[in-house]
Structure 1
Amino acid sequence: MLDERKLDVLRAIVEDYVATHEPVGSKTLVDRHNLGVSPATVRNDMAALEEEGYITQPHTSAGRIPTDAGYRLFVDKLSTVKPLSGAEKKAISTFLAGAVDLDDVVRRTVRLLAQITRQVAIVQYPTLTRSTVRHIEVVTMSPRRLLLVLITSTGRVEQRIVETLEDVSDQLVVDLRSKLNAALTGQRLTDAATTLAGLPDSFGPGDRPLVAAIVTTLMEAFTVEGEHRIAVGGAANLTRYGDDFERNVKPVLEALEEHVILLKLLGEATHPQTLTVRIGHENPYEELATTSVVAAGYGSRSETLATLGIVGPTHMDYPSTMGAVRAVARYVSQILADS
């Protein structure tokens, strides 16, 4: 374990390197930071930090830069996550509150995260398997064509068209709408599919084939393919990685094309608003060893619906980035709870 003085030196090195992207020397630390010790003591502390693997010297006669272990210790020892200003909080609240539906919430969130953090933002859509049925609407488009609309507790909307071989009476549409909502409202989508299977039996023999066809279509909406959808924004921020395209930028660009990789990078949030930080080689893909991921779950107070976060270089501003990700996750959770 490092003593508090060496931790102060490490913090100073991380902060300076994040700000300048240049190796940090002992003279710079003494000049810029009120460490309360002599230059010789700072040099000794830096030697100890290097021996412990928290900082390294990129080349001879250069200053030092943090290692993944150094960043990890810095993050773990953060006493506070930098809070957003009142103006930033108001801007986030206003921007997200203007969303008209779930897709709009996700689009606004990913754009907002990318702008605030100046990193690549990733937002996972709430999964259907964790949603409950809020309402089912049945709309007559023509005598032989119906529109089914499924609205979930997370605000997700799925629409399906049903073509029938015979005319559908207005009374059957009314009965179908009533029985669907009475049987399914409040149920998890995974349970609702089982309930749906028995629905045709509650109708008269003449209507059962038609109701069965509608139920089949509705079940498809409950088990929609591409369940794990994500939105990505801020790819232009990759230009801040530096000039080493092949090593730093190209692997991230390739990862952005593979949603499965991005979902694994975000990880599985176990509780709403729980913040996780993966640094460098802690990520599951060696190709992304120069990146860090800051992610948080969002959802109701008791259940996480999905995850959002950012991918950026290991030399990111962790206190500000962690504060922004956590704040946005809280606002999105509140919007979904109120919708």
Structure 2
Amino acid sequence: MPLTEGLELLQRQRVHPTQHGQVTLSRPQPLLLFGTDERHRLRLTAILGRLHQEHRHRHLRAVLGQQRLGLQAQFGQRLLGQRLDLHLLLRAGQLVAVDGVDHPLELLGQVLPLEDEESAKVVEKAFVSNGIKIHTGARAQKAVVSATGAAVSVTLSDGSETVFEAEKLLVSVGRAPNTEGIGLERLGIRMTRGYVETGDCYESSAAGVYAIGDITIQPQLAHVASKAGEIVAEHVAHVLLGSPEPHESRINPYTIPSAVYCEPELASFGLSEKKAKESGTSHAVARFPYRGIGKAVATGVPEGQVKILFTPDSGAILGASIVGAGATDTIHELLLASHAELTLEDVADMVHAHPTLSEGIMEACKAGLGKAIHI
């Protein structure tokens, strides 16, 4: 059963009526819904917005958003044994290209520039080992798309120019919030570059109108939108029914896990080492390589690292980055420890089953305390 059908089934079981169509807002409460054959006027006690983003450059063959999506798509194509003739990512004037034969990859100063530099280098090394050539500081000057393929003119970091030709083209220059033409201006909702500004419990400047997901200024991740939706629902239930208020009025950005699904996986949360240095935050770093994890070696996935930022005096966990097999799952142990205000020593003292990839977290904590025995 597709995931969307499962959600619809849960809605029906809870007797929540579902209407499909294009929505426009007329006043804070009445909601106009344009379906395929009729027009509905619904009266709601609260309006919750989670509009999908539209992609720019819709005339191109395929469109991807954000750099992590580009790498994941390229990895997925290889996993399925499909040839991705030219993969192009544009971000802030930069270029990522993967050719089907030589697999050149071009982008910003590092792969996944929003992630920890050390962790990103592990991903970069894995791509290189799979025949992907890395160029940094490249800039796309022009792209020509025709019925027979595409050609992209590129200026490399050394000033030389070249042209990438391919059968298919995927371009990412970011995503635009799909907020035009739905009546937000009639409600006087404050916007920033098309994104809805929100306050406590994600309420917009129009009372009773809430916004979550990709139309708001926050990480464009499904789990972020889902949690924000829970906060709004609990708040509305409190206002209307007297139910308890949500535990938090907004998501703490430092508690949001980032997950990159390629091989190796990369996951992180909280402060990175670069951000800690830029903000002047006192910090220390604990590391442990995957080659020291028995299960990683035994299962043939020894490339990776657990990296933890913590305060030198108290051992409080400030952030973490894990790159390697299972990273998108194991990151949550450190995230929970940070949320529960556990220290490096607390995690190091906890018995971890052997052999597991989670042992790398325990070992990294011990390394940060100067107690490591397996490296």
Q: Using CA pairs below 8 Å that are at least 6 residues apart, which structure has the higher relative contact order? A: 1
| Alignment TM-score, normalising by the size of structure 2 | 0.24
Q: Give the structure with the larger strand fraction.
A: 2
Q: Give the structure with the larger helix fraction.
A: 1
| Alignment TM-score, normalising by the size of structure 1 | 0.25
